[in-house]
Structure 1
Amino acid sequence: MSAPDGADPALAAAGVWLVIPCYRVVDHILTVIARAPPWVEGIVCVDDACPAGSGDFIAANNTDPRVRLLRLAENQGVGGATLAGYEEAARLGGRILVKVDGDDQMDLTYLPQLVAPILLGEADYAKGNRFTSLNHLQSMPGVRVFGNAGLSFLAKVSTGYWNVFDPTNGFTAIEASVARLVAQKKVARRFFFETDLLYHLGTLRAVVRDVPMPARYGDEESNLKITQVVGSFAWRHLRNFVRRVLGQYFVRDFHIATLELVFGASFLAFGGAYALHWIAVREPGQAASAGVVMMAALPVIIGVQLLLQAMNFDVFNVPTRPIHPYLRTLERIEADAEAAQREDA
């Protein structure tokens, strides 16, 4: 296809599609569509069974020929709507799929920076990061700053992506073949979607890159209530951490960190158990001897050191080689094989 006027030919030929989950966004969705750059090939608006009639509103008022409207029979949450949009955009030929919220919080002038790591073959997934500059945080409410900082640390631990921050940022881009692969996994469908997606990308060893961009807030209302999800988020982070460690260091591979985890946890448990046992059986007023102290303290010290070494290994074990070139090649081979079978038939 020829590049639209003023558009970079590389961007115009990249097959960039926007995926916009639509739920109570009738006040902003047309503005979001209008701000899509001319080099964006297509836009999939996903009506997530919106009670405000977002789908009907788009169908009646949209004039952009690039828009494709996808209606879901039942509400599936932001995650379910995004995954359905990925599938539709990829089916229509999209190669780089950009998830954009319909509430006009995301500055689409940063779209080139977001798709560039994937277009250059340096990443499989790119996401916005509002924490790279103090200037970027000026418009973000203080509560959100501290909340996102805490969630970012938990996400580093549970996903293994120690190189990324701001995991709840919903302005993301993913290569289509990677999107098809991750859609086969049990990704959380609602507010934990972005973080859970990172976890599942980690199981695929996909490369993730942060893209600096400022926060932007207007008169939109968030559907997320912090008090309702804090307990659920903490449990999901813990569950993903345990699953990641077991899968990454005991099932799919075996590293020096595996031994450090096993012996570190064993030494720590032994030292702690020994100390508790001595406290339980000691005579009233009896002081611990040097030998007792060393029998408790030394295993704890060794255990903590081994666990810190395992953590250090984990930090440097972040994926660095993108997987989408391999997936694209595999798709071409499978397509050629199917074509050959049809010709033989």
Structure 2
Amino acid sequence: MYKDNVVGVVIPAYNEEDHISDVVSTVPSFVDRVYVIDDHSTDDTWAEIQRAASHIKQQTISGNSEVYDSRIVTIQHETNRGVGGAIKTGYLKALEDDIDTVAVMGGDGQMDPALLKGIIDPVVEGYADYAKGNRFLRQETRRNVPPFRTFGNLLLSGLSKIASGYWAIGDSQNGYSAISKEALETVDIEEMYEFYGYCNDLLVKLNVANMVVADVPTPIRYEDETSSINYRTYVPRVSRLLFENFVWRLKEKYLIKDFNPIVLLYSLGMVGGITSVVYIINTLRSADVDNATAQTLTNFLISTLLIVQGMMKDKAENDHLAKRIEKRSGPLSLTGSTDPSGDDDFQGITSNQGK
């Protein structure tokens, strides 16, 4: 129990035999239930999960018995479903158990459990429906991110801003997060994307549901872990997912739920842009290339202006749903100030906006 909230942590794991035991063992004691999901690993991850769970059960015996018979729940997938699929399994179990706030910590040991309170505080104190880490809010944490990860992250974060409508939220691939029970009940978790890219998909669903999202400065530890992501296939796959989600968000939020001219600006801009490209291809073969080029450039500029105007209006429409959290001593306060000390000892929150 933490601040009158029943707290759960979902730990997805795939081939993490070297790290999963330490991750499970170091989950803070205020966490009421830990869901450890083995996504059909091919190494000894499941055996390590069982060993760690048995050790903790022996240590606690009947700890938290007024809420649960056991603190650790271990689940093994029969097939590999992807990290999003493992997290979905944990989310659904947490809903069954009526958990108030559900956090996600990776099974690879990159997410420091000492920072968990900073991740869940915006949710348990009612200032956000979903909070996530951001490695790029502070210079000292940005330096720890490998260059190839930085490039891919910035690219996908930029696309995620457009797709999700959370223009002030960055580091979209950061999985260290917390979500409220109300948010889990509102968004369609059953339909959440099951592979890498689940976090981008979830942001879009949260925006359509008008949920408040908070960014929390959070360093990530890179040690001897190896990423299973193939960026040559990952970036194109997630980019396609983001485009499809972008179209779905416009339809759901600005057409079905309540009509908003934003959808017209985006639609006319995209149609005009595509038409301009097709026109260029067809007219380059003709003799009147100069006139065709001038006309096409004019159409392209108009289309670009429509899209930019749509982005500006979209941002203004959703600004109140995004918060940026700063580390500062003292109670939660809604101010726009930042802490210049860079102290990583999280004791409270400041935010630039109210919920």
Structure 1 residue 307: deviation in Å? 2.7
The one of 28, 39, 42 equivalent to 2:30 is 39
What SS class does the counterpart of residue 318 from structure 1 fall into?
A: helix
The one of 176, 188, 203 equivalent to 2:208 is 203
Aligned residue in 1 for 2:218:
213
Larger radius of gyration, structure 1 or 2? 1
Aligned residue in 2 for 1:308:
308
Aligned residue in 1 for 2:343:
none
The one of 42, 46, 54 equivalent to 2:45 is 54
Instruction: Give ranges in structure 1 of 5+ residues lacking alignment.
Output: 2-10, 323-345
Q: Which moved more, 1:34-43 or 1:141-150?
A: 34-43
State the distance in 2 between where 1:177 and 1:28 align: 32
Structure 1 residue 81: deviation in Å? 0.9
Aligned residue in 1 for 2:91:
86
Aligned residue in 2 for 1:121:
126
Amino acid at match of 2:99: G
With structure 1 as the length reference, what TM-score do the two structures score?
A: 0.79
> For residues 58 and 251 of structure 1, do their structure 2 counterparts lie closer, same or farther at Cα, with a shift above 3 Å needed?
same
State the distance in 2 between where 1:214 and 1:184 align: 27
> For residues 27 and 254 of structure 1, do their structure 2 counterparts lie closer, same or farther at Cα, with a shift above 3 Å needed?
same
Amino acid at match of 1:123: A
> For residues 294 and 124 of structure 1, do their structure 2 counterparts lie closer, same or farther at Cα, with a shift above 3 Å needed?
same
Mapped pair 1:14 → 2:14: no
8 Å CA contact 1:96–1:176 kept in 2: the answer is yes
8 Å CA contact 1:206–1:319 kept in 2: the answer is no
8 Å CA contact 1:125–1:174 kept in 2: the answer is yes
8 Å CA contact 1:98–1:173 kept in 2: the answer is yes
> For residues 24 and 244 of structure 1, do their structure 2 counterparts lie closer, same or farther at Cα, with a shift above 3 Å needed?
same
Structure 1 residue 43: deviation in Å? 0.8
State the distance in 1 between where 2:206 and 2:50 align: 34
Aligned residue in 2 for 1:164:
169
Structure 1 residue 70: deviation in Å? 1.8
State the distance in 2 between where 1:44 and 1:269 align: 46
Q: Compare the two structures and name the one with the higher helix fraction.
A: 1
> For residues 111 and 226 of structure 1, do their structure 2 counterparts lie closer, same or farther at Cα, with a shift above 3 Å needed?
same
8 Å CA contact 1:12–1:39 kept in 2: the answer is no
8 Å CA contact 2:36–2:75 kept in 1: the answer is yes
Structure 1 residue 259: deviation in Å? 4.0
Cα RMSD after superposing both structures: 2.9
State the distance in 2 between where 1:271 and 1:24 align: 48
Aligned residue in 2 for 1:242:
247
8 Å CA contact 2:3–2:124 kept in 1: the answer is no
Amino acid at match of 2:246: F
The one of 247, 258, 262 equivalent to 2:263 is 258
> For residues 120 and 278 of structure 1, do their structure 2 counterparts lie closer, same or farther at Cα, with a shift above 3 Å needed?
same
State the distance in 2 between where 1:135 and 1:277 align: 51
State the distance in 2 between where 1:50 and 1:297 align: 53
Identical-residue share of aligned pairs (%): 30
Mapped pair 1:64 → 2:56: yes
Amino acid at match of 1:24: N
State the distance in 2 between where 1:225 and 1:263 align: 35
> For residues 12 and 308 of structure 1, do their structure 2 counterparts lie closer, same or farther at Cα, with a shift above 3 Å needed?
closer
Amino acid at match of 2:206: L
8 Å CA contact 2:19–2:108 kept in 1: the answer is yes
What SS class does the counterpart of residue 143 from structure 1 fall into?
A: helix
Structure 1 residue 270: deviation in Å? 7.8
State the distance in 2 between where 1:318 and 1:307 align: 16
State the distance in 2 between where 1:215 and 1:221 align: 14
State the distance in 2 between where 1:220 and 1:273 align: 46
What SS class does the counterpart of residue 44 from structure 1 fall into?
A: strand
> For residues 48 and 262 of structure 1, do their structure 2 counterparts lie closer, same or farther at Cα, with a shift above 3 Å needed?
closer
The one of 232, 235, 239 equivalent to 1:230 is 235
Structure 1 residue 210: deviation in Å? 0.7
Aligned residue in 2 for 1:151:
156
With structure 2 as the length reference, what TM-score do the two structures score?
A: 0.77
Aligned residues: 308
Q: Which moved more, 1:80-89 or 1:236-245?
A: 236-245
Structure 1 residue 251: deviation in Å? 2.7
Q: Which moved more, 1:214-223 or 1:250-259?
A: 250-259
Structure 1 residue 209: deviation in Å? 1.0
State the distance in 1 between where 2:247 and 2:19 align: 40
Amino acid at match of 1:176: K
What SS class does the counterpart of residue 133 from structure 2 fall into?
A: strand
Structure 1 residue 95: deviation in Å? 0.9
State the distance in 2 between where 1:75 and 1:301 align: 46
Q: Deviations over 1:296-329 (max 9, x none)?
A: 666555443333221100112226369xxxxxxx
8 Å CA contact 1:36–1:108 kept in 2: the answer is yes
Aligned residue in 2 for 1:194:
199
Aligned residue in 2 for 1:338:
none
Q: Deviations over 1:33-81 (max 9, x none)?
A: 2222221112111122222242332223432232111222222211111
